[in-house]
């Protein structure tokens, strides 16, 4: 019986790979990638030449059984996504579930994921939080937001840059314009940015500044910042509050 390794890959800077992740990918009999073209950049960078197969949300139902048969036969597989940890808003759950059912060993390596640095850097409480990922685009979106109105923990959302302004507008309508929020984009990349303030302030910022790159929204829980002096630094947005962090002289080609 083989082993399935779930391997996180960088969300930005290629140097965010761990030594163990590189070793596992080099030793695997085959690698399952969300997008083989994207993953090839990473694999070439680390001189990894294992067999590379496509495994994404459009074909995972068809490929799971084929992968499981190879694992039962004693081969070792590594599952990667375009960026971050597979299974977190990326393909992976179906394969892991089937491996668990079949008694195949699953080992998930610790490593990169976008929401953890966004949450920790937000200035909002991160001892307890609620991960929502991507909201439904249409059906069920409004009811999901309404269900979160009384959530007291910090709430983590993923969003695309083209939908960010609309999402913040909906947040203002549901949660109120004074709710604290932090929007992080381009985590671990050259133009990493964190914009913090009230929903009204952050919405105004992105109405005048086009958002680019991958987006993580950290929304304060209901009443979590009322009369909290420790979070006073998040209360007003100004140009100096947006934190720009460089990770190198050249922008990473790997996203």
254 domain residue, yes or no:
no
Question: How many alpha carbons fall within 13 Å on the CB side of residue 78?
Answer: 25
CATH number at residue 11: 3.40.1010.10
What token pair was written down for 44?
Answer: 């070439």
Task: Let me know whether 76 and 129 are in one domain.
Answer: no
pLDDT confidence tier of residue 105, bands split at 50, 70 and 90: very high
Total structural domains within the chain? 2
Q: Between β-strands 192-198 and 243-245, what pairing exists: parallel, antiparallel or unpaired?
A: antiparallel
In this prediction, residue 225 carries a pLDDT of 47
Task: Let me know whether 58 and 177 are in one domain.
Answer: no
In 3-state terms, what secondary structure has residue 100?
Answer: helix
Task: Let me know whether 83 and 119 are in one domain.
Answer: no
Cβ proximity of 78 and 50 under 8 Å: yes
pLDDT confidence tier of residue 227, bands split at 50, 70 and 90: very low
Q: Does 244 score more than 50 pLDDT?
A: no
Q: Between β-strands 77-80 and 243-245, what pairing exists: parallel, antiparallel or unpaired?
A: unpaired
40 domain residue, yes or no:
yes
- List the alpha helices (DSSP H) in the chain: 19-27, 36-45, 60-72, 93-101, 115-121, 141-147, 164-175, 199-208
Highest mean pLDDT among 54-68, 115-129, 234-248: 115-129
The closest alpha carbon to 77, from 23, 34, 36, 25, belongs to: 25
Task: Let me know whether 128 and 214 are in one domain.
Answer: yes
Name the one residue in this structure whose structure tokens are 């249409």: 138
In this prediction, residue 252 carries a pLDDT of 39
CATH number at residue 176: 3.30.950.10
Domain housing 132: 115-245
| For range 8-37, the mean pLDDT | 96
Task: Let me know whether 144 and 236 are in one domain.
Answer: yes
In this prediction, residue 163 carries a pLDDT of 96
Task: Let me know whether 145 and 229 are in one domain.
Answer: yes
In this prediction, residue 220 carries a pLDDT of 97
Please give the helix or strand (H or E) that residue 6 lies within, else none. Answer: strand 3-6
Task: Let me know whether 20 and 134 are in one domain.
Answer: no
Q: Backbone phi, then psi, for 156, in 5-degree steps?
A: -105, 125
Q: Does 229 score more than 90 pLDDT?
A: no
Cβ proximity of 166 and 150 under 8 Å: no
Mean pLDDT estimate for the chain: 88
Task: Let me know whether 121 and 236 are in one domain.
Answer: yes
pLDDT confidence tier of residue 255, bands split at 50, 70 and 90: very low
Quote the CA–CA distance of 35 and 9 in Å, as a whole number. 13
pTM: 0.84
In this prediction, residue 132 carries a pLDDT of 96
The closest alpha carbon to 21, from 7, 5, 39, 3, belongs to: 7
Q: Does 156 score more than 90 pLDDT?
A: yes
Beta pairing partners, 217: 157, 183
Task: Let me know whether 165 and 55 are in one domain.
Answer: no
Task: Let me know whether 38 and 134 are in one domain.
Answer: no
Q: Domain end: 108, 134, 154, which one?
A: 108
23 domain residue, yes or no:
yes
């Amino acid at each position: 019986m083989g082993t399935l390794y779930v391997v996180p890959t960088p969300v930005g800077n290629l140097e965010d790979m761990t030594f163990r992740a590189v070793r596992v990918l080099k030793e695997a009999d085959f690698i399952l990638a969300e997008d083989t073209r994207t993953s090839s950049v990473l694999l070439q960078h680390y001189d990894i030449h294992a067999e590379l197969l496509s495994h994404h949300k459009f074909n995972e139902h068809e490929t799971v059984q084929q992968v499981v048969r190879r694992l039962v036969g004693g081969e070792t597989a590594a599952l990667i996504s375009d960026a971050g940890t597979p299974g977190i808003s990326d393909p992976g759950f179906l394969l892991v579930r089937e491996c668990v059912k079949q008694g195949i060993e699953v080992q998930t390596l610790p490593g990169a994921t976008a929401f953890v640095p966004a949450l920790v850097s937000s200035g909002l409480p991160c001892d307890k939080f609620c991960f929502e990922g991507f909201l439904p685009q249409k059906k069920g979106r409004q009811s999901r937001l309404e269900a979160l109105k009384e959530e007291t923990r910090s709430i983590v959302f993923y969003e695309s840059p083209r939908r960010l302004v609309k999402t913040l507008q909906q947040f203002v309508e549901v949660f109120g314009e004074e709710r604290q929020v932090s929007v992080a984009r381009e985590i671990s990349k050259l133009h990493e940015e964190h914009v913090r303030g009230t929903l009204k302030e952050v919405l105004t910022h992105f109405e005048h500044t086009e958002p680019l790159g991958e987006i993580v929204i950290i929304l304060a829980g209901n009443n979590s910042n009322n009369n909290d002096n420790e979070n006073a630094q998040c209360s007003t947005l100004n140009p100096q509050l947006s934190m720009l962090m460089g990770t190198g002289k050249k922008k990473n080609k790997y996203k």
